[in-house]
Structure 1
Amino acid sequence: MNAETPAAPTDDRLAALIEHVKALPHLPGVYRYLDAGGAILYVGKALDLRKRVGSYFQKNDHSPRIRLMLAQVAKIETTVVRSEAEALVLENNLIKALSPRYNILFRDDKSYPYVMISGHASPRLAYYRGALDKRNQYFGPFPNGYVVKESLQLLQKVFKLRTCEDTVFANRSRPCLLHQIKRCSAPCVNLISADDYRRDVNNAALFLSGKANELLEELEANMEAASAAWDFERAALLRDQVQALAKVQERQFVSSNTSELDADIVACVVKDGMVCVNLAMVRGGRHVGDKNLFPSHADDYDAAEALSAFLAQHYLDRSVPAMVLCHPAPPDAEVIASLLSDQAGRVVRLNSNPNGERKVWLEMALKNAELAIALKLGQAATQAGRLAALVDALGLPDETQRIECFDISHTMGELTVASCVVFDRGDMQPKEYRRYNIEGITGGDDYAAMKQVLTRRYGKIAAGEGVVPDVILIDGGKGQLAQAEEVMAEVGLTQPVLIGVAKGETRKAGLEQLILATTHEVKHLKRDHPGLHLVQQIRDESHRFAITGHRARRAKARVASSLEDIDGVGPKRRQRLLARFGGLQGVKAASVDDLMLVDGINAALAEKIYAALRG
């Protein structure tokens, strides 16, 4: 049986799908499976659309995951492209945008950090995440922020580049504290010439590019020249730079014989039903760290398939190094290498069989992935024990897995924020957390805030737009719990078990009261009870998530009040204020008496400025 004549249909739905398959072209493209509600179930690519899509309907030995998916398919959509490489790009764009439930998903909630040297006349050194701007120089990416911050501290010590914001830099009248502790050469007040500062910037860029040996040789030559010219002050400065850089080279994380190599090391391990990809980065010959990624929907994928999915998704909108060391070899290595080369504008090589130090790096990545799986399995076992203890103690349904918890945060009723955090699949699920800005209630009315957030969330879930949890934890006592009961009755959800988490009389950890809905029976678990520890973990995470959201909202609202919005503060007074306090943050931190010391600012205006900036 070939792809043009799939298996005989078993129902009208399947018959319609097979007729659709027969009409597909023998061309490369992307196919999408949709359910009856129009939700995307799966996105795939094909060199031949008719053969690939038809293969799903002619086989009987599919994995349980594929059989479950095919049982839900109601419609097939396709897009024809010119090549397999274009199909790969489109496939992964759609996977990232739509998050189909049957595709393996490598989701990373944050962009990777860079060291940035800005394109100003007096360039600024900064930590950066986000889209790249061609006007600036970027070095990285790095696997975590620690490496970037360490590099910034080093560059400040050695090259003394400015790190201040542009508003502060433009309004300085005297050097800041960083200059006094020898971390900045103070280009803001011209204590270093433009040529000398530019030379320091270029030297920092050389170091970040991995050309430390070349930089050391240049600095040593300049030091000897300065000494010969009897410029001992400059010679001493260069000597200190040489010594600092030499020490840095001695304590590199992992040294490389190829000093200028940029490479990523990607190792995928499948063990005990879990998939882990370890991504390590080498920049300028330095192994600068790694991170472990656990994909969603990875059941039934082998290591090679998972690695292939990672390479396509990870590099889709990121810079690509000249070499990617990977294990195992991805099945479509040539297509991926061609795609990455086109994206980077230069040759990118995939190497699955390296030797020498590169082999050591790859072996280290494989070992780290195995260790990460072992650690995660150990944590999952601990969490599973806690969940089982909670289920037993409270008489919850045996199949309880998903727990959602809500908390409310505000300051004196101002800018209320509600949080929802999710515990599922044996761990907290940060990508499923949600925050809700609460509007239209009396400030400080926690009952009304709780009712609003629960209505907004579970009204949608009752309409089929989400997952119904097994348990809902409400941070609060019987009043908040009553609001939750009322909302569940209104939206028609009877499945979730509602539990209020109230602090004990002394509000100490370990004395929490668990209040069950309907009966309002109060349960007291012992302080060392593993079920109570799970409740505390989820409740504390909800509290943290609510507070950070409220603080961010409050800060954003307060920052909106700037000097330009204050009556009586014109351009000249604004310039005097910024120059006096070194920028807007300094003005915000100033007291009324400090503000009155500025020429043209009387007591009334100082009070007005203070009130406007402090909110």
Structure 2
Amino acid sequence: MQKPSLDIQLKTLPTGPGVYQYYDKDDKLLYVGKAKNLKKRVTSYFTKSHDNYKTKVLVKKISTIKHIVVETETDALLLENNLIKKHQPRFNVMLKDDKTYPWICIKKERFPRVFPTRSLIKDGSEYFGPYTNFKTVNTLLDLIKGLYQLRTCNYDLSQQKIDSGKYKVCLEYHLGNCKGGCEGYQEEEEYRQNIEAIREIVKGNFKDSLNRFRKQMADHAEKMEFEDAQRIKEKIEVLEKYQAKSTVVNPKISNVDVFSIISDESYGYVNFLQLSYGAIIRSHTTEIKKKLEETDKELLELAIIELRQRFGSTSKEIYVPIKVDVGEDLKITIPQLGDKKKIVDLSIRNAKYYRQERFKQIKIIDPDRHVKRLMAQMKKDLRLPEEPRHIECFDNSNIQGTNPVAACVVFKNGKPSKKEYRKFNIKTVEGANDFASMEEVVYRRYKRLLEEEQPLPQLVIVDGGKGQLSSGLKALEDLNLRGKITIIGIAKRLEEIYYPGDSIPLYLDKKSESLKIIQHLRNEAHRFGITFHRQKRSKAALDTELDSIPGIGEKTVIELLKHFRSVKRISEATKKELSEVVGESRATKVYNYYLSKKE
């Protein structure tokens, strides 16, 4: 498939948050940006006139737009930071090391310190973040310090040095901010338990801590200490809005490749995320055409080997959603929860978005391929003997048993063919009998098609459950068409699809395209039938009033309604007003009719 034009690439962008990447005609990365709404932000580059010369040059060079979807704006901001530092695109302002986002470090040492940092040192310490600003970091640390007494000194608090009395407690001890572990006043186990609680807080699990803060705020308020209460309230508000962790970055996930796959009847879509030192440095999605009926496992194994070779990956571990076999030297992890699972889910989301965009692009560039894929999917999902290129759907419409009618809508290649829609007045059935009405209209429809030697549909859908399906099937049997046309029924409440001779309904995936087309057919039939029914009821209402006047025909009725807009106004009009519209002779007949009714 040819590369989509920029116009098509813009039309098929998602509307959620993410990072966009601009490439030139030689696939060289020009620019990386973040957006709350990818489609809106990227489109603005091509719809606005730019005063900045550099931006004008950038837009002229753009040939391809790629993107990575993420959960939140914060994730987009952090991912943008990682990609700019890794690839240093020509049109981006370079991010220097002193602009790195802050982390919270729990130092690997006896009586660990907890402090903010911009540097990640690989010494076994734990790093949490990154955070988009220091306000959040400082608020968290203030919360921690308010709850737990931690040391701030950088002494080597080995048991030997403590026992030797090398250190003396400092001012922090006397102020009550530290329990004096340097002189052995605090047990290491107690301190370790505090660190465990702090670890939960920085991970985002600070419900208990927030409750304690709220209690403190209430205590201050009760004592009339309103300034202290307000100070704690502000911290609580900041923390409640705080999102503890980013799905984009985690320092524990280092030098790992992530792969996921989404597939349909004809293609597989594999996303590849490359992580280095806990940060995403590459996202690439590829499309694989199925030759036979390859499984997701087979396609994913093929893609993993090819993509790792293409991008020169030397990672010793990969995360995947399903079990694969790609060599003994590679560690395969199928995450079930936590940050590893989140990163696999992010990969799956990117594969899904890529697939959706390809569908949209194919509809514009290669509509025939889209139809072929859709028809093949419907044939498989609905267990049909052939592709349903021609589908017809029937719906009965009668309200309180009056004016029974039916409608037949026709879809060709998955789209409505409105010129072929047909309306039916029920002729042989008295009152409201949906089953008999369905049998009548199905019989009449295909009897006529046979007589006129018109092509028959591959699939007939009746709106209703087993009863309507049985009625439709009987009509086909009477015409000797059973086995030549597939007929199914769709029940409204649970979208159950019934087949002749099978008491157990089929349930399609709620998001499947096959079900969406069936629902579209059913809704169109219902809309078309209701419209016809309303027209018939309106005409019946008029027939009982104006058409019952001797000497007044349909043309006169139409002229009067056009002018007066309602039967009531006609009945209240003077003879002169009526005669100005339909002449004196007919006006007299109408006027005398309503005059006699008033007497």
TM above 0.5, yes or no, is no
Larger gyration radius, structure 1 or structure 2: 2
Give TM-score, length-normalised by structure 2.
0.32
The structure whose RCO (Cα within 8 Å, separation 6+) is larger is 1
